[in-house]
């Protein structure tokens, strides 16, 4: 019994490493006893409790551990993190800077492994002048000895080849310095250096001495971007092309990048590859035609027409590439067979034709494009008076909402002497457009009237101004707005429009002295003496007590050699302003 107890005592591990202040020894108190079912259930319950308690504190514990780790990393960052911002700047390092970075252990014997470049320092003239006083001889470079020159001069005084001590700069016994020979020696030295660089050991020419500066000038890039930026852009566009080869802007941008950098053939190859990947892209074909030379561009456009027979821009480009007028006409007529409803193609084709052929072509054009106002108006301009009226009537039937057809009809009647029809046509135009739901835009109609004025259609411009001058204006703002409109017309050199505005304003405000004055000043500056006097006679009739109007009329007649002061004096005899005016007239 004692032996078994001693054996159990020996099995217990009572070492300090197995002892805990809180739990005691790690060993179980009943490890020697049997492990029954009750013990298993108890262990399971304790394990479940421990797991439950661990889950309750898990989130808080993980948060605390995370904060401790972050705090530790902030206090003791890794070397990789310390230089992360500097690593980004490595992208700005040029290739020359990379090559100039020394390797590890490259500091020893650097002078022997990397000999310094030769430095040539010109000898100052004061040095020669100083040694002239001592009677010493000086050396210069002998052109016959330049072939054997290997080692540079230390300071420019000693030469390592024989014969270098020949006194040539000055004659012994004289104090005169030959500066011409000094310049000759310097030129000889430069020629020797260029000769050494131009002929290498392998026989290949490295530098052309005669065209050295020209070569340097040709090395200047013709583009404005940096080399690194161009490389980055080239890689980026290459990635876009590989990722989405059917994206037309990627091919166009790549070709233009190579064109800017001077690689025109690479740009042509890229854009032709783009036409293969994007055969239905109009922009790619047009870019390919732009980059290719003459005949090749025609072939490219012909290929584009086969892929895009409905493209108007490609047909226009094909016509532009042709130099012969007949070839241009042939291309455009072929295009109109495929796209007969293109106004742009019809206009381009009509511009190349003679007036009679253009009239026939426009007759067909308005049938294919009945909603084009420009084609209808162009046809009306080429027709006779009766036919032009018929054309404009058909145009109004097809396009009842366009004002230009009505204005053109009014100009046609004015040009043929039917000025009484102009006012009726403009009034009918306003009524018809409103009936078709068109809003009368006052500013647009005034602009049309100014164009008619500049074109010489005076009656039309005046009729338009009378029809639209009062549209969309409040009653209290009429005078101010109309005066501004008149000033605007004068500024745009539309004098008849301004005259029509003043005439309409005088009808609405016949007793406004300020309106009469503005109209009088307008006639004085831009009209004739007869129109001014007629206006002033009407003005004094409506405003008989307006002294300034009488004076303006009197001055105009006095300058013309006539005097009307007595009439004005009878109307306004008490006014003191008449006496200075009367003193200037011989009759008074």
- Give the tens place of pLDDT for each residue, 516-532: 888 888 888 888 888 88
Tell whether 439 is covered by a domain. Answer: yes
Question: Domain end: 308, 341, 358, which one?
Answer: 308
Same domain, 294 and 344: no
- The pLDDT score that the predictor gives to residue 132 is 64
- The pLDDT score that the predictor gives to residue 109 is 57
Tell whether 164 is covered by a domain. Answer: no
Which of 113-122, 313-322, 579-588 has the least mean pLDDT? 579-588
**366, pLDDT greater than 70:** yes
Confidence class for position 173, pLDDT limits 50, 70, 90: very low
Q: Is the pTM of this model over 0.75?
A: no
Confidence class for position 106, pLDDT limits 50, 70, 90: low
Tell whether 587 is covered by a domain. Answer: no
- The pLDDT score that the predictor gives to residue 131 is 65
Same domain, 275 and 326: no
19 - beta bridge partners? 25
Confidence class for position 98, pLDDT limits 50, 70, 90: confident
In this prediction, residues 25-35 reach a mean pLDDT of 64
**340, pLDDT greater than 50:** yes
Same domain, 501 and 439: yes
In this prediction, residues 143-159 reach a mean pLDDT of 44
8 A C-beta contact, residue 547 and residue 572: yes
In this prediction, residues 362-385 reach a mean pLDDT of 91
Same domain, 414 and 441: yes
CATH number of the structural domain spanning residue 292: 1.25.40.10
Q: How far apart, in Å, are the Cα atoms of 459 and each of 8, 352, 422?
A: 135, 34, 7
- The pLDDT score that the predictor gives to residue 197 is 56
Which of 18-32, 225-239, 493-507 has the least mean pLDDT? 18-32
Enclosing domain of residue 407:
401-509
Which of 12-21, 35-44, 277-286, 407-416 has the least mean pLDDT? 12-21
**587, pLDDT greater than 60:** no
> pLDDT tens across 198-214, in order?
554 544 545 555 554 45
**Greater pLDDT, 398 or 171:** 398
User: In a 10 Å sphere around its CB, with 0-12 CB exposed, 13-18 middle and 19+ buried, how is residue 561 labelled?
Assistant: exposed
Tell whether 331 is covered by a domain. Answer: yes
Tell whether 129 is covered by a domain. Answer: no
**290, pLDDT greater than 90:** yes
How many angstroms separate the first and last alpha carbons of the chain? 170
**44, pLDDT greater than 70:** yes
8 A C-beta contact, residue 436 and residue 395: no
Tell whether 441 is covered by a domain. Answer: yes
Same domain, 472 and 500: yes
Same domain, 450 and 496: yes
Same domain, 293 and 235: yes
Same domain, 249 and 260: yes
Rounded Cα distance between 21 and 244, Å, is: 70
Instruction: Report the Cα 63 to chain-centroid distance in Å.
Output: 54
Confidence class for position 150, pLDDT limits 50, 70, 90: very low
Confidence class for position 327, pLDDT limits 50, 70, 90: very high
Confidence class for position 155, pLDDT limits 50, 70, 90: very low
Tell whether 158 is covered by a domain. Answer: no
- The pLDDT score that the predictor gives to residue 362 is 92
Quote the number of domains for the chain.
4
Tell whether 155 is covered by a domain. Answer: no
**Greater pLDDT, 477 or 566:** 477
Same domain, 233 and 331: no
Same domain, 527 and 501: no
- The pLDDT score that the predictor gives to residue 320 is 92
> pLDDT tens across 406-458, in order?
999 999 999 988 888 999 999 999 999 999 988 888 999 999 999 999 988 89
**Three-state helix/strand/coil letters over 445-503:** HHHHHHHHHHHCCHHHHHHHHHHHCCCCCCHHHHHHHHHHHHHHHHHCCCHHHHHHHHH
8 A C-beta contact, residue 285 and residue 301: yes
In this prediction, residues 391-416 reach a mean pLDDT of 91
Confidence class for position 511, pLDDT limits 50, 70, 90: confident
Same domain, 502 and 547: no
Confidence class for position 9, pLDDT limits 50, 70, 90: very low
Rounded Cα distance between 330 and 235, Å, is: 44
Same domain, 500 and 413: yes
- Across the chain, what does the average pLDDT equal? 78
């Amino acid at each position: 019994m004692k032996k078994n107890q001693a054996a159990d005592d020996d099995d217990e591990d009572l070492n300090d490493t197995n002892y805990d202040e809180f739990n005691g020894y790690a060993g179980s108190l009943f490890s020697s006893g049997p492990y029954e079912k009750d013990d298993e259930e108890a262990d399971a319950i304790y394990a479940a409790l421990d797991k439950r308690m661990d889950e309750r504190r898990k989130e808080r514990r993980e948060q605390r551990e995370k904060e401790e780790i972050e705090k530790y990393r902030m206090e003791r960052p890794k070397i990789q993190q310390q230089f992360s911002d500097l690593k980004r700047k490595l992208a700005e390092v040029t290739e020359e800077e990379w090559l100039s970075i020394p390797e590890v252990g490259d500091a020893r014997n650097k002078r022997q492994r990397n000999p310094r470049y030769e430095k040539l320092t010109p000898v100052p003239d004061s040095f020669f002048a100083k040694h002239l006083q001592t009677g010493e001889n000086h050396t210069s470079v002998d052109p016959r000895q330049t072939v054997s020159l290997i080692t540079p001069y230390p300071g420019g005084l000693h030469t390592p080849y024989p014969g270098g001590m020949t006194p040539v700069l000055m004659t012994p016994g004289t104090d005169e310095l030959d500066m011409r020979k000094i310049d000759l020696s310097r030129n000889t030295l430069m020629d020797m250096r260029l000769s050494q660089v131009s002929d290498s050991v392998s026989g290949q020419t490295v530098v052309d001495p005669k065209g050295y500066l020209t070569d340097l000038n040709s090395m200047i890039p013709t583009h404005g971007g940096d080399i690194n930026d161009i490389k980055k852009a080239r890689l980026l566009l290459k990635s876009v092309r590989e990722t989405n080869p059917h994206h037309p802007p990627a091919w166009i941008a790549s070709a233009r990048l190579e064109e800017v950098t001077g690689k025109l053939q690479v740009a042509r190859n890229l854009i032709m590859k783009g036409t293969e990947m994007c055969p239905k892209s109009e922009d790619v074909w047009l870019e390919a035609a732009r980059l290719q030379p003459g005949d090749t561009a025609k072939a490219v456009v012909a290929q584009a027409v086969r892929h895009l027979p409905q493209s108007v821009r490609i047909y226009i480009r094909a016509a532009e590439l042709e130099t012969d007028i007949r070839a241009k006409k042939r291309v455009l007529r072929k295009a109109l067979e495929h796209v007969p409803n293109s106004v742009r193609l019809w206009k381009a084709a009509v511009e190349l034709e003679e007036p009679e052929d253009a009239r026939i072509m426009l007759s067909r054009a308005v049938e294919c494009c009945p909603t084009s106002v420009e084609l209808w108006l162009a046809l009306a301009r080429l027709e006779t008076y009766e036919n032009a009226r018929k054309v404009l009537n058909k145009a109004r039937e097809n396009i009842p909402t366009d004002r230009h057809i009505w204005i053109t009809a009014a100009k046609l009647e004015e040009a043929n002497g039917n000025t009484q029809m102009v006012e009726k046509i403009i009034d009918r135009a306003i009524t018809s457009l409103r009936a078709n739901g068109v809003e009368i835009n006052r500013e647009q109609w005034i602009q049309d009237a100014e164009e008619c004025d500049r074109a010489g259609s005076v009656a039309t411009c005046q009729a338009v101004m009378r029809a639209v001058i009062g549209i969309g204006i409040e009653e209290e703002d009429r005078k101010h707005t109309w005066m501004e409109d008149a000033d605007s017309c004068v500024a745009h050199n539309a004098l008849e429009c301004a005259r029509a505005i003043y005439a309409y304003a005088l009808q609405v405000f016949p007793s406004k002295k300020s309106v009469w004055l503005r109209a009088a000043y307008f006639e004085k500056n831009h009209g004739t003496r007869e129109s001014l006097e007629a206006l002033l006679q009407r003005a004094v009739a409506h405003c008989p007590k307006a002294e300034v109007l009488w004076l303006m009329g009197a001055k105009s007649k006095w300058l013309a050699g006539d005097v009307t002061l007595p009439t004005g004096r009878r109307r306004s005899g008490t006014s003191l302003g008449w006496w200075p005016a009367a003193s200037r007239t011989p009759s008074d």
